[in-house]
Amino acid sequence: MEQKQLQQLVEQISLQSFGKKFQHKASFNPRLRTTGGRYLLKSHNIEINKKYYEQLGEKELIGIIKHELCHYHLHLEGRGYQHRDSEFRELLKEVDAPRFCQVLPQADRKPRSQRVIEYTCQSCRQVYRRRRKVDTSRYVCGKCRGKLLFKRELTVN
């Protein structure tokens, strides 16, 4: 499916399911990773993750488009367009749109190795493990207020 076909599909779904025109741009965004699509508040455009169409098919794509169109139409009308709003949830039910998209098949995902950074206190030898680096000039040991020293960085699978 190309950008033009996506635009036509979004316009068609908007007219059929909502009875309103979609007057902005719909496009595939290859940078989307953890979501099926998103509605952009400033430009009113809709971006769709093409992987969902490729891996889960047209039915899932239509569900994602309906979901994003709920955000779109409610926002333009000045009504509650966020996931927590009751108006949004009601409209999702009316047009038979999913609240969340399915999870992509696991074959596409690689397990991320997590890094662990170890620090030790110069005074009491207390060991601290963190996932992010700590500014040792600003932070001190919580036990004795001693100076922290970088010990090593580990990668845990």
Please tell me the distance from the alpha carbon of residue 25 to that of residue 4, in angstroms, as a whole number. 10
Please report, for the chain, the start and end positions of each structural domain, with discontinuous segments joined by +: 3-107, 114-156
CATH dotted code for 3-107: 3.30.2010.10
- pLDDT value of position 156: 76
- pLDDT value of position 104: 84
Q: How far apart are the first and last CA of the chain?
A: 37
- Residue 70: count of CB within 10 angstroms of its CB: 25
Please tell me the distance from the alpha carbon of residue 88 to that of residue 63, in angstroms, as a whole number. 15
Q: Flag residues of the chain having pLDDT under 50.
A: none
Active-site residue among 11, 47, 60, 68?
68
Please tell me the distance from the alpha carbon of residue 38 to that of residue 40, in angstroms, as a whole number. 6
> What does the pLDDT look like over 11-29, one tens digit per residue?
999 999 999 999 999 999 9
60: annotated active-site residue: no
User: In Å, how far are 121, 123, 130, 138, 152 from 145, measured between CA atoms?
Assistant: 9, 9, 18, 11, 21
39 forms beta bridges with 46
- pLDDT value of position 76: 95
pTM of the model: 0.69
- pLDDT value of position 102: 87
